[in-house]
Structure 1
Amino acid sequence: DHILVTTDLCYICLCVCLGVVQTEGGKVEGKSHGMGLFRSVDVFKGVPFADVPGKWEKPKPHPGWSGILKANKYRDRCLQVTLLQTKTQGSEDCLYLNIFVPQGLKLSKNLPVMVYLFGGAFLLGASNDVAILGDSLYDGKEMADRGDVIVVTVNYRVGTMGFLSTGDDRLPGNYGLWDQHAAISWVRRNIAAFGGNPDNITIFGQSAGAVSASFQMLSPYSKGLFRRVITQCGVALSPWALQKKPMALTKKIARKVGCGRSNEDEMLECLKISDPIGLTLAGKIDVLLILGKGTVMDLLELAPVIDGDFIPDEPSKLFHNAAQFDYMAGVNSMDGHIFAGVDVPSINKKNANVRGLLAGLTKEKGNAAVDSAFRVYSSHWGSAPEPAVVKKTVADIETDFLFLVPTQIALQLHANNSSGAHTFSYLFNMKTRIPGFPRWVEAEHAEDLQYLFGKPFASPLIYFPRHRDLSGYMIAYWTNFARTGDPSNGGSRVPVPWPLFTKHHHPYLIINHKMTKSSVRYYTVVYSTDILLSSL
């Protein structure tokens, strides 16, 4: 331990810091960042948790290093397409994690640990994604400091290199999920040296990262590995969470890279010697799929598969594996809005085709299902609905189908199977900060993350006080849950007690900047679940 004098944030912080830490692979040295008087966060960037992975192989232990590894810069993201899908970025040498450890006047010990899994449709993303005024969106300093927890962000393989599968033992798939498992296992073995409690690990994620956290919770390989799980806007039951025809997709990608063969084994041999960059580009989203055919779900092709191993069965049949984990789950009120713009381009015109959207989402059920769902969703329209009402209905349908209904079913299955573990449900509905959107648009997909990671505190000039209020509430709820399994209790004050979700009692907490007792609600809407989840 030693005293650090720094002038970060224009004042002097007198705190201890970890300095050099011994891990199983060797020594690492991070950097201390002042957060206020007598407060700092030790940051370790780019710590390896596994060796460079072989193509379509499970991760292997890192061989270690000699000397001191200077853990002061983020490492490459895993090989993936760029946002515009015109080229690739990243590297195959990508299995690294980042650790944020809060410190005060005494060295931190036995802290709760929160491991974050990023989203990005299983196609792109990184542990240090999207810089906001210099810092990554997933920078863990504010959450670590304000919640007194250790935050860990991890990389995992995505796209073709992370999720291609034949649906059998030849190319089982789920390599990205195995990477996550290796990272969580590394944290459990090593985090005590950083001041963390290996017996109190929470995994949390958003979108595809939430689906990932859900699969980690349901996998038989996770027994005893962590204690709690938070899924934000995605669960293993989401209709986009599984690839159900992996071999057809593998054959399509093989044709794109010149490996089309009638003999499957020859095709796989060709794929295994193909250039990873070409393979990655071949896995990009095929926008032509949606023209006249289907919905946004048809675009999200590379995803986990039921492999008989990490995911041994349909997710709905695996909740007995989750009985020991405390579980908190929710969605954003307009998670589906951006996807509605893909499925219903006319959403921005007067004649948004609600019936056409429902036909696409319920194609396995036929016209009767379309009529039934249309009645449910148009019941409040009146004889001449305003265009804004129809547009909001389209966004609601997408939100329900892709996010809300699967999440509610996952919460129910968890509560039904729980052996003493807690279950909590929420709805995040803060108005969007995205400029140019209509007034009726609430919380878009991923808009919760800026608050959870404390951006209104880190970048105060681009936020208002109400945003800092909300950010403080979310950090308190999330880190209390990580500490105790109860978001209302754990050392951080919260504005409203958050009641348990149980077998027969289904409260949820509405999360925004104006939280009162009336923020606790109960689901009264009867969702046409059999219709909406026709593809599950």
Structure 2
Amino acid sequence: MMAKLGILVAVTVFLETVSAASLGVVYTEGGMVEGENIRLGFRRHMDVFRGIPFADIPGRFEKPKRHPGWDGVLKATEYRKRCLQLNLIMTDTRGSEDCLYLNIWVPHGRSVSTNLPVMVWIYGGGYLLGGSMGANFLDNYLYSGQEVADRGNVIVVTLGYRLGTLGFLSTGDASLPGNYGLWDQQAAIAWVHRNIRSFGGDPDNTTIFGESAGGASVSFQTLTPHNKGLFKRAISQSGNAFCPWAVIKNPRKIAEEVALKVNCPTDDRMAACLKMTDPVLLTMAGTLKLGSSPDAPIVDNLILSAVIDGDFLPDEPYNLFHNAAEIDYLAGVNDMDGHFFSALDIPSINSQLVDTSIDDVKRLLATYTKEKGKAGSDEAFSTYTSTWGTNPSREIIKKTVVEIGTDYIFLVPTQTALYLHAANATTGRTYSYLFSEPNRMGGIALPYPSWMGADHADDLQYMFGKPFTTPLAYWPRHRDVSGYMIAYWTNFARTGDPNKGELRVPVTWPRFTTTGHQYLEINSKMNKSYIRQKMRVRYVHFWTNALPNLPTVISD
């Protein structure tokens, strides 16, 4: 009996293997590609394509061009190099100028998939660092689309784009207009629209999503006039076009600083000289100034990003929302998104032993409100200390520093973007969230105090399903919050409504409107009481209304 059972199992496995659903060789505009087919479970397979070129090797400070194509079958089984960038400690470079590639995950059931929703991921990293595959630990890449694609039954695409000096340097005129990294993203989105049907995707149901600089990129891609009809929905996580680091106000000044570092003139010969300069030297010249303080916060050092170039961004972002009127938009922040930045500016917030001085709080606020002079910093200080009482605890002062950073760098800009999207939308729907699953290291390891909420980028591990991929590294509650995020995000990609799709959600997420300002707080404990309204309304009002109405004393 057991022998017969063994034979039956062997035959079943054999039949499933030989009939495994797979796209096989796929025909694209550049030529034929073949990925890797992996087995996920009974009658569940996935095709993974790594390193498909979506554009040619880019010319220095030029827009991307279509790839000339290839002969034979391209084996798309290895990730390609990241775009040339600084290493984490900014002492050297890594990556290559030959970096405009994308990766695709296509799930299959009994038969080969057709007409699936498509989700295109744009990574963050301050426009200085990052790659389409994300950080790697024991061959487990952060931005692997496998869990999202499998659980949500969607196609996931991740892409590369130029960074740092090579991606974002601009002279502020036609000689070096800038935004090359944004053009790379746009080229990848357009490639997906033209080719994804061959991979079983629906080109008319694409969602772009990204985090931090990737979230800001998503926001810019919705606002540019160059993407009409290329995607239907967008998700910005902890970043959008209104973040104080998202648009460079004086690109010429930065270009001249870079030129001097690489021994180029700063007159009308500057652009030609920069184009001839070694790309590694150019990349090193875009180094971030580390060692910040409340008087020179790290966010002010993020100097390479988008510019109003009259082409990709023909106007200031707030004047471009008509381009996003038909796009469904979902955006939010982590409740302590500013911690990563505030801790660099005021390291004492992470110390159990060292108090954070009230003077540090005042200095940070004075920097963030410097255009309004003393009146601005006084108003800011009274707004943020109104609940302190006469003798605030050291924890309250430290938490206030994080709140200031979170509000200024992420939360208020996100509420602004959501409001403008809802106000200008025709058919586009708007959704707002606050992610508040506490940091897993809170109170366990430095630099995380016991009161830590969700730090910048804490949402990524849950969004990409790491609690399922590496279950021993997480608790069951982490799998809960990961499941919730994947359900909301993939439902939204499928239908434009995070509540409707193939996956059940724990709470019905209401739409954000210009009058209701409703949002969903996302964490492992969520229930109906986590539907909230008017996120940090007092502080949003301060930054968007009270402060701008004060007279300006310093102009850029």
With structure 2 as the length reference, what TM-score do the two structures score?
0.92
* Equivalent residue, structure 1, for 2:275: 272
Q: SS of the counterpart of 1:271? A: helix
Q: Deviations over 1:335-357 (max 9, x none)?
A: 00011012223333313321111
* Equivalent residue, structure 2, for 1:409: 416
Correspondences of 1:290-329 after superposition (within 5 Å): 290=292, 293-329=295-331
5+ unaligned residues in a row in structure 2: which ranges? 1-10
Once residues 429 and 20 of structure 2 are traced to their aligned partners in structure 1, the CA distance between those partners, rounded to angstroms, is 36
Which amino acid in structure 1 is aligned with residue 154 of structure 2?
V
Q: Deviations over 1:317-368 (max 9, x none)?
A: 1111110100000000000001101222333331332111100100001111
* Equivalent residue, structure 2, for 1:103: 108
Which amino acid in structure 1 is aligned with residue 395 of structure 2?
A
Given the alignment of the two structures, is residue 490 of structure 1 paired with residue 495 of structure 2, yes or no? Answer: no
Which amino acid in structure 1 is aligned with residue 282 of structure 2?
L
Which amino acid in structure 2 is aligned with residue 406 of structure 1?
P
Correspondences of 1:243-258 after superposition (within 5 Å): 243-258=248-263
Measured after TM superposition, the shift of residue 293 of structure 1 is 4.3
Once residues 428 and 422 of structure 2 are traced to their aligned partners in structure 1, the CA distance between those partners, rounded to angstroms, is 8
Measured after TM superposition, the shift of residue 298 of structure 1 is 1.7
Once residues 329 and 150 of structure 2 are traced to their aligned partners in structure 1, the CA distance between those partners, rounded to angstroms, is 23
Q: SS of the counterpart of 2:21? A: strand
Once residues 341 and 479 of structure 1 are traced to their aligned partners in structure 2, the CA distance between those partners, rounded to angstroms, is 33
Once residues 142 and 14 of structure 1 are traced to their aligned partners in structure 2, the CA distance between those partners, rounded to angstroms, is 23
* Equivalent residue, structure 1, for 2:44: 39
Q: Deviations over 1:457-507 (max 9, x none)?
A: 111110111111111110000000000000000111000000011121111
Name which one, 1 or 2, has greater alpha-carbon Rg: 2
Contact 1:6–1:34 (CA under 8 A) maintained in structure 2: no
Measured after TM superposition, the shift of residue 246 of structure 1 is 0.5
Measured after TM superposition, the shift of residue 6 of structure 1 is 12
Q: RMSD value over aligned CA atoms? A: 1.8
Once residues 397 and 80 of structure 1 are traced to their aligned partners in structure 2, the CA distance between those partners, rounded to angstroms, is 30
Contact 2:517–2:533 (CA under 8 A) maintained in structure 1: yes
Q: Pick from 235, 241, 252 the counterpart of residue 240 of structure 2.
A: 235
Q: SS of the counterpart of 1:16? A: coil
* Equivalent residue, structure 2, for 1:427: 434
Contact 2:149–2:155 (CA under 8 A) maintained in structure 1: yes
Contact 2:299–2:341 (CA under 8 A) maintained in structure 1: no
Which amino acid in structure 1 is aligned with residue 62 of structure 2?
E
Measured after TM superposition, the shift of residue 32 of structure 1 is 1.3
Q: Pick from 493, 513, 519 the counterpart of residue 502 of structure 1.
A: 513
* Equivalent residue, structure 1, for 2:5: none
Given the alignment of the two structures, is residue 443 of structure 1 paired with residue 454 of structure 2, yes or no? Answer: yes
Given the alignment of the two structures, is residue 337 of structure 1 paired with residue 344 of structure 2, yes or no? Answer: no
Q: Structure 1 pair 6/340, CA: closer, same or farther in 2 (3 Å)?
A: farther
Count of matched residue positions in the alignment of Structure 1 and Structure 2: 526
Once residues 419 and 492 of structure 1 are traced to their aligned partners in structure 2, the CA distance between those partners, rounded to angstroms, is 27
* Equivalent residue, structure 2, for 1:473: 484
Q: Pick from 515, 530, 535 the counterpart of residue 519 of structure 1.
A: 530
Once residues 300 and 294 of structure 2 are traced to their aligned partners in structure 1, the CA distance between those partners, rounded to angstroms, is 12
Given the alignment of the two structures, is residue 64 of structure 1 paired with residue 69 of structure 2, yes or no? Answer: yes
* Equivalent residue, structure 1, for 2:372: 365
* Equivalent residue, structure 1, for 2:289: 286
Higher deviation after alignment, 451-460 or 129-138: 129-138
Once residues 294 and 223 of structure 2 are traced to their aligned partners in structure 1, the CA distance between those partners, rounded to angstroms, is 36
Q: Structure 1 pair 531/130, CA: closer, same or farther in 2 (3 Å)?
A: farther
Which amino acid in structure 1 is aligned with residue 284 of structure 2?
L
Q: Pick from 390, 394, 410 the counterpart of residue 397 of structure 2.
A: 390
* Equivalent residue, structure 2, for 1:459: 470
Measured after TM superposition, the shift of residue 220 of structure 1 is 0.6
Once residues 413 and 244 of structure 2 are traced to their aligned partners in structure 1, the CA distance between those partners, rounded to angstroms, is 8
* Equivalent residue, structure 2, for 1:84: 89
Contact 1:12–1:37 (CA under 8 A) maintained in structure 2: no
Q: Structure 1 pair 201/333, CA: closer, same or farther in 2 (3 Å)?
A: same
Once residues 377 and 295 of structure 2 are traced to their aligned partners in structure 1, the CA distance between those partners, rounded to angstroms, is 16
Which amino acid in structure 2 is aligned with residue 165 of structure 1?
S
Contact 2:294–2:346 (CA under 8 A) maintained in structure 1: no
Which amino acid in structure 1 is aligned with residue 53 of structure 2?
P
Once residues 145 and 39 of structure 2 are traced to their aligned partners in structure 1, the CA distance between those partners, rounded to angstroms, is 14
Contact 2:295–2:364 (CA under 8 A) maintained in structure 1: no
Which amino acid in structure 1 is aligned with residue 272 of structure 2?
E
Q: Pick from 138, 151, 156 the counterpart of residue 156 of structure 2.
A: 151
Contact 1:332–1:445 (CA under 8 A) maintained in structure 2: yes
Contact 1:147–1:480 (CA under 8 A) maintained in structure 2: yes
Once residues 151 and 356 of structure 2 are traced to their aligned partners in structure 1, the CA distance between those partners, rounded to angstroms, is 47
Large movers: runs of 4+ above 3 Å:
11-15, 290-293, 530-536
Q: SS of the counterpart of 2:111? A: coil
Given the alignment of the two structures, is residue 226 of structure 1 paired with residue 238 of structure 2, yes or no? Answer: no
Q: SS of the counterpart of 2:157? A: strand
Once residues 270 and 154 of structure 2 are traced to their aligned partners in structure 1, the CA distance between those partners, rounded to angstroms, is 48
Measured after TM superposition, the shift of residue 152 of structure 1 is 0.1
Q: Deviations over 1:259-299 (max 9, x none)?
A: 1x25x2222222111100000000010236x4674222221
Q: Deviations over 1:210-238 (max 9, x none)?
A: 00000000001111110000000001011
Given the alignment of the two structures, is residue 175 of structure 1 paired with residue 171 of structure 2, yes or no? Answer: no
Measured after TM superposition, the shift of residue 532 of structure 1 is 6.3
Once residues 331 and 268 of structure 1 are traced to their aligned partners in structure 2, the CA distance between those partners, rounded to angstroms, is 38
Correspondences of 1:181-220 after superposition (within 5 Å): 181-220=186-225
Q: SS of the counterpart of 2:97? A: coil
Contact 1:146–1:475 (CA under 8 A) maintained in structure 2: yes
Contact 1:362–1:531 (CA under 8 A) maintained in structure 2: no
Q: Deviations over 1:23-79 (max 9, x none)?
A: 000000001122222112210000000000000000000000010000000001000
Once residues 13 and 460 of structure 1 are traced to their aligned partners in structure 2, the CA distance between those partners, rounded to angstroms, is 30
Once residues 218 and 508 of structure 1 are traced to their aligned partners in structure 2, the CA distance between those partners, rounded to angstroms, is 23
Which amino acid in structure 1 is aligned with residue 362 of structure 2?
R
Q: Deviations over 1:226-262 (max 9, x none)?
A: 0000000001011110111101000000111111x25
Once residues 308 and 130 of structure 2 are traced to their aligned partners in structure 1, the CA distance between those partners, rounded to angstroms, is 23
Once residues 439 and 402 of structure 1 are traced to their aligned partners in structure 2, the CA distance between those partners, rounded to angstroms, is 23
Once residues 145 and 237 of structure 2 are traced to their aligned partners in structure 1, the CA distance between those partners, rounded to angstroms, is 17
